[in-house]
Structure 1
């Protein structure tokens, strides 16, 4: 991270960000006047012609034009303000014809929001332009006054900036003290200018984000579609893992067990001792297969979680961890089964990371409820440095929690300790 010797208040007037935002306010006035004039003209003409068929295409065309203005404004905000706002979904008619498109355009809430932006932004742009230009220009002019004060006596026939004059008395800023004070006042304006400009552009950011982007409902639908894809992929991966574990583990052992029992059956009359030895080995294989099946069933959904809840299930997980783990569960009841299962597997994955990667001496698990949210926290005193980009299952956990509107927060500085907090809906 870059370090600066000058305080931010002194750097701000010279930073590129300030000049980009000032440029955004300068461009806003002519563009907003153009948007306002064209949109009002088109929409007024379309509304006036609605008594005839011509009003519908004119009004739809006006809304389409406003959407084009919105594309320009999103690009301008992206380039000058660093604000990246996604475009709303394109308008498509059901049948693909011109009438269908015009009907979809008139029904589109995003199109009307673009029209509202074109109308509302013009008065705001006039105010923001006037304030920013007056403040910025006068601030730099007064601040640099000692450098160009000589222009007045040489070319204007007066001693300096005229502060007062009524035909009898005149007062000019021409003495060294007055020039210094003028420059000091200009410096105050210059130092305050960037913060006022940022305040003005903050309103532009709100308008662009609120009126020119997709609606909250559309954004939510997109998030749910993405989360559904994550859930489907996770379920498919779990099914593949279960199939692989069954094929390579218990199934292979049961096949070998069947073969061993067949050989023991053949040797039963010829060599009873060898047959008994083979049956004993088969008995050991049965125990191993049962243990693998039990572990596999626990990985799918542990019976202790269903029967006794998170407290007992997490205590069982903690007992299998490679480091001592203390568990504290303070819940007034039980959350929804799906949320309970995700909470269980989240803590299990985090404790596996503690065992494999943290190098910790002890860990602690805390579970509690806050409002309508289920909170999980796993702490360890290990080496730290946990990062989602580095693997360790954290990225997968984040996706799984996102699928149910959950959040995963990681605080893991180098040298430790590591604290991972998960938040899930109680439902």
Structure 2
């Protein structure tokens, strides 16, 4: 079976290496078509920008100039959308659309003001101006190189057209009236074809280099601004933080209501009954007081567990090393804890790290089937690194609805990262990265 599988794998491998397949590949075709379409699109964008800005500038002395300028900027954003779609289809470059322009107040003039103040709109104008000279260079360079390379490579197939229709022996390499040199001998024709083949093999890399500049221009000038993207991320993260806080409050309220509060109510009733029986039946009253004493101990333990779930005192007093060792001692499998930190991170980050490891060890206890686990904590420059590993059955993932997905969202809210490596059959390694923020 192994030999058969290996033979099938070999049959599936491409016969030709990448360098020989590149000139005929789909990527080469798409990128070359992109460069061909660059010329009409570049001219259209450039002419539109120059014309509309010139007309708008000329009409600024009138009321029409400012609205016309705003409309010109909106048109540039529309052309930018076409350019993004073209890059997505032909360059496999997916650039997000910038956020729509919204005025602070309702009304035309508020919208016009928002458009004029939009940096994204002016970056589209800059793209239309800067892209034009690059379009001219990339179009003629790519077309000249590709056409020339294929013409030389296929020269043996069309060399006969020179004596048949042009009354010369072949391509004229040199001619000054008295001396002439044509590519017409078999050796010269073969050498020309070899040179053409070399150029054909080099053409995909030239085209790829030219389209790299287009990728940079589209991604840098036609996408959303970094500030707007960051604001959107922060708004999303704020929602995650609010939802997490609300869920934690509901959990605390539920634990208090169903746990310690219920025990304290029952304890008060038992003590009341013991008080009534104190004179009538002292022995029964003593038994009830003894039972109440046990209930007090249970209630105190539940309150301690609840307080530990909110923020453990050992974390505040002694840091991550002691706090994580305490968590590991309560895990159902043996856990080795290694904390290598020169000093403590910010209190908020320390708390997030503690609860992250706590939740991961709970998963180890409940779902992994592991016999041992390890916890490693260390610092890399300005990042706090956590890693929890176990030798369990594996198969953990961050799919929607799982506990790891919620944990990943919590870490993302503070610019953290969660990476899960858990093949089926194990082992599982979950790595978390948090900002230090000291």
TM-score, normalized by length of structure 1? 0.90
1:102 aligns to what?
Answer: 112
For the structure 1 residues 180 and 382, does the alpha-carbon distance in structure 2 shift closer, same or farther, using more than 3 Å as the test?
Answer: farther
Q: How does 1:23-422 map to 2 (within 5 A)?
A: 23-265=33-275, 272-389=282-399, 393-422=403-432
Q: How far off is 1:401 after superposition? A: 1.1
- 2:298 and 2:173 mapped to 1: Cα distance? 98
Q: How far off is 1:411 after superposition? A: 3.4
Q: How far off is 1:266 after superposition? A: 5.2
Query: Which whole-Å deviations, capped at 9, do the CAs of 1:114-138 have from their partners, x for residues lacking one?
Result: 1100000000111111122122222
For the structure 1 residues 186 and 60, does the alpha-carbon distance in structure 2 shift closer, same or farther, using more than 3 Å as the test?
Answer: same
1:62 alignment partner, SS class:
helix
Check conservation: 1:353, 1:392, Cα contact below 8 A: no
For the structure 1 residues 245 and 63, does the alpha-carbon distance in structure 2 shift closer, same or farther, using more than 3 Å as the test?
Answer: same
Query: Which whole-Å deviations, capped at 9, do the CAs of 1:345-381 have from their partners, x for residues lacking one?
Result: 1111222233333343433322223332222222334
Q: How far off is 1:425 after superposition? A: 1.6
Greater mean deviation of Cα atoms: 281-290 or 57-66 = 281-290
Q: How far off is 1:334 after superposition? A: 2.0
1:21 aligns to what?
Answer: 31
- 1:166 and 1:415 mapped to 2: Cα distance? 78
Q: How far off is 1:271 after superposition? A: 5.2
Q: How far off is 1:81 after superposition? A: 1.6
Check conservation: 1:267, 1:274, Cα contact below 8 A: yes
Q: How far off is 1:11 after superposition? A: 2.5
1:388 alignment partner, SS class:
coil
- 1:172 and 1:413 mapped to 2: Cα distance? 66
- 2:337 and 2:100 mapped to 1: Cα distance? 51
Q: How far off is 1:173 after superposition? A: 3.2
Q: How far off is 1:38 after superposition? A: 1.6
For the structure 1 residues 125 and 261, does the alpha-carbon distance in structure 2 shift closer, same or farther, using more than 3 Å as the test?
Answer: same
Figure out how many residues of one structure are paired with residues of the other and give that number: 427
Give unmatched runs, 5+ long, in structure 2: 1-8
Q: How far off is 1:225 after superposition? A: 0.4
Q: How far off is 1:383 after superposition? A: 4.1
Q: How far off is 1:423 after superposition? A: 1.9
Q: Give the CA RMSD over aligned residues.
A: 2.6
Q: How far off is 1:239 after superposition? A: 1.4
- 1:51 and 1:166 mapped to 2: Cα distance? 62
- 2:427 and 2:236 mapped to 1: Cα distance? 33
- 2:331 and 2:207 mapped to 1: Cα distance? 55
1:389 alignment partner, SS class:
coil
